């Protein structure tokens, strides 16, 4: 069963494919990177929801972050129209 997806090509990855020096077999990009992590959140401080994590400057390079958790949600990260996102958020609080 797949654990997550490659941040670069979307290939399915297993848990053992997230080593510090492991690369995606399909596109040869590193897998233990911020962009492949469940905590990656563009726009947040250091682009991470984990406030205790050491800042990582290059989000597409392998790192040693101890808070790394693979994610399947690699498409549309930080994307979308900000106005549409704001409207959707405001609609949640209308009575």
- Higher-confidence residue of 13 and 92: namely 13
Q: Model confidence over 7-61: pLDDT tens digits?
A: 999 999 998 999 989 999 999 999 999 999 999 999 999 999 999 999 999 999 9
Task: Give the domain range for residue 59.
Answer: 1-95
Looking at the structure of the chain, the number of domains it has is 1
pLDDT (0 to 100) of residue 54: 92
Q: Is the pLDDT of residue 80 over 60?
A: no
Tokens read off for 71: 């994610």
Supply the pTM of this predicted model.
0.73
- For the chain, what is the radius of gyration of the CA atoms? 15
Nearest partner of 49 among 73, 31, 14, judged by Cα: 73
């Amino acid at each position: 069963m797949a654990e997550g997806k490659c941040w670069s090509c979307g290939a399915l990855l297993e848990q053992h494919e997230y080593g510090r020096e492991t690369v995606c077999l399909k596109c040869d990009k590193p897998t233990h990177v911020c962009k492949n992590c469940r905590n990656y959140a563009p726009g947040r401080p250091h682009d991470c929801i984990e406030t205790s994590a050491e800042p990582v400057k290059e989000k597409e390079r392998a790192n040693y972050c101890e808070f790394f958790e693979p994610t399947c949600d690699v498409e549309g990260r930080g994307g979308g129209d900000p106005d549409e996102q704001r409207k959707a958020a405001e609609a949640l609080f209308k009575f």
